[in-house]
Structure 1
């Protein structure tokens, strides 16, 4: 089909961007000690620099979508690529935490502009395969995140790594400039009130203030579940199971492997199963895995929980939720994506701040974190079930 051939360049440029983002996400944590020495910073200060990524995302996410709808996906993706290069080079060559913190905020901008350009660009180019194409975004990031630690073992100097990644970004910039992007679904002068009025006046259509808000809340709960798990899984192994720190980190390995496998399974299932039913089923299994961890703490419970959360929450189901939102409200994809991404931006800002102060962790406090995470997963079940009930009166497949 010509359309597929014509827009292959769009997919390649978007996926290459997210692959580099996958590596950049781990850049500070993988070179934590080296960068701390370069910045003359403590461990806590490094965590605060990571938190600045979330702050940068919060500051930019709400207007990044409007910019994407106004100037187009290509130019917005170029902003994201340039911001990513500034982050990597700034963090690698900074000599204090102030410069590093400012650089980290640019990576927050990368996430905002990348999300509001990349996902809508795929939706514009592949309107019939949005959920599947969105799932491959997660695949690009997960593959890079699994390979990047091995890369770091080979190259000890973060400056060299930053330059290599910046070269990849330059290649993507050139590719993006040369690629023809698909026409946007609406003209850039559409505004949010158009979506609101259409939703409110049509009784058989989703309402942004009700259905849209619930899907955005679902995006928050899904993101909270897998992000907090990835941060605190080592604490569970170390303080609840009394394992050595090195062994405790193995729970993250189970989580990562399950997440990568899930990307491909979910991308296949999403074409055969109604998306909201898929999200609800995934959320139920994640909640069961987390409850097992807190009710019957053991190594087996930890591994089961890691696989459950990795496969059923971190493997692309967040992107499936986004595809539901954009199919419910097809106008102004960039703006709608920014709404969906705002709540996770708050998670990314708050969670590292919490992690920075959990330095005297113990079994009780760690289990409390996982109780909260289990409750959040249960809220995901409730939200998706409510959306399923409401979707029965719409002419749109959920």
Structure 2
């Protein structure tokens, strides 16, 4: 049951993630403007995105620890202000080096926002934390769908592209002030204990050391490692699409800049629809472990069609399907990991998100290098290879799931979807 007194705080938190949806694709959406302004190329812009991942990777763990110690509010407020600094600074940056520094700060802001917001939502709505957190993904998709439309409006009216940075920065700042004045929920509030099955492990290490003939117990070095790798493959596909889809539309299909930006709108509409579909189907009909196999199969077909059919209509359909089938895979991977290793949810979440952060750091640089020495189609061929790897991993995880958990086992795990 949701507490009405928590709604004002939750409103501010959701506004942050609506803005984060814009923030997350800001550099990719302004690729042509920024290459000229910063005197660099597309590989340079991908390096900026990688710098954001670097800042997030090296502050994610410590920000979570400090958030538990000092409270959620300071980190959420500071995150909003740092994101505003980044958004104002990038269009006004005098050099590429300064932009790199700002991008690292943006990564720090990202880790602060995540480490403060998700615990705050769970503490605000302890009886319905799954519903509270699933809305985050929806607000991100709304923001990401709105940004290209705002950029197109500014382009059509000859307005300086920096205003699409400045407007979210202003709202981030005002929202930080608003949240600073709010009373946050008690950190001591705990969410209801989730149901777990008959099989659990006392530690991650114990799961990895179980005897080979004991096929009914979770094994960290088998399904655990596969799920961690899925924490890399899922975000890799997401970042390839968010970073390079407009470029793909222009260079491979021959779209105009405004037409290619609209592909991100269709992608995020598909992602938003997926959130609501998952909330419905996961309650009664499908398990999370099945979705992490079904969705990659759908996205593989969509990526193949995107490369096969060089038309604007096909690109729109494929972008929507890709957005639908990528959304939520990372979060459901965490849910499945928690089922296998129910006694170490925090520890295994750290493992998966470390793989995710590595993806955010490595993939932008690698794809930028790939594009510098090849064509944009090679980047999406990489996406297909990663997609196939994800399917192979998911097949093995489903096989192990059928052994560890009997078919008659009834479990409705709480689904927590977020930004990655």
Q: Find the aligned partners of 1:332 and 1:73 in 2 and give their Cα distance.
A: 22
TM superposition shift of 1:171: 1.8
Q: Find the aligned partners of 1:83 and 1:333 in 2 and give their Cα distance.
A: 29
Give the structure 2 partner of residue 48 of structure 1: 47
2:349 paired residue among 321, 334, 337: 337
Structure 1 residues 207 and 185: CA distance shift in structure 2, 3 A:
farther
2:292 corresponds to 1:292 = no
Structure 1 residues 215 and 357: CA distance shift in structure 2, 3 A:
closer
* 1:233–1:248 CA contact under 8 A, matched in 2: yes
TM-score for the superposition, normalised by structure 1:
0.79
* 1:122–1:133 CA contact under 8 A, matched in 2: yes
* 2:28–2:243 CA contact under 8 A, matched in 1: no
Q: Find the aligned partners of 1:304 and 1:212 in 2 and give their Cα distance.
A: 34
Give the structure 2 partner of residue 183 of structure 1: 189
Give the structure 1 partner of residue 179 of structure 2: 172
TM superposition shift of 1:241: 3.4
Give the structure 2 partner of residue 386 of structure 1: 396
Q: Find the aligned partners of 2:60 and 2:78 in 1 and give their Cα distance.
A: 13
Mapping of 1:317-336 within 5 angstroms?
Answer: 317-329=329-341, 335-336=347-348
TM superposition shift of 1:139: 0.8
Give the structure 2 partner of residue 308 of structure 1: 321
* 1:116–1:337 CA contact under 8 A, matched in 2: no
Give the structure 2 partner of residue 196 of structure 1: 204
The answer to which structure has the higher helix fraction is 1
Structure 1 residues 311 and 123: CA distance shift in structure 2, 3 A:
same
Give the structure 1 partner of residue 244 of structure 2: 232
TM-score for the superposition, normalised by structure 2:
0.75
* 1:16–1:172 CA contact under 8 A, matched in 2: no
2:376 corresponds to 1:366 = yes
Q: RMSD of the TM alignment (CA)? A: 3.7
How many residues of Structure 1 are paired with residues of Structure 2 in the alignment? 386
TM superposition shift of 1:285: 1.0
* 2:80–2:173 CA contact under 8 A, matched in 1: no
* 2:142–2:272 CA contact under 8 A, matched in 1: yes
Structure 1 residues 217 and 123: CA distance shift in structure 2, 3 A:
farther
**Farther-moved stretch of structure 1 (274-283 vs 153-162):** 153-162
Deviation track 1:192-244 (CA, whole Å, cap 9, x = no partner) reads x9732564588765444443332221122111122212333344434443444
Could you tell me which runs of 5 or more consecutive residues in structure 2 were left unpaired when the two chains were aligned: 193-200, 414-420
Q: Find the aligned partners of 1:197 and 1:343 in 2 and give their Cα distance.
A: 18
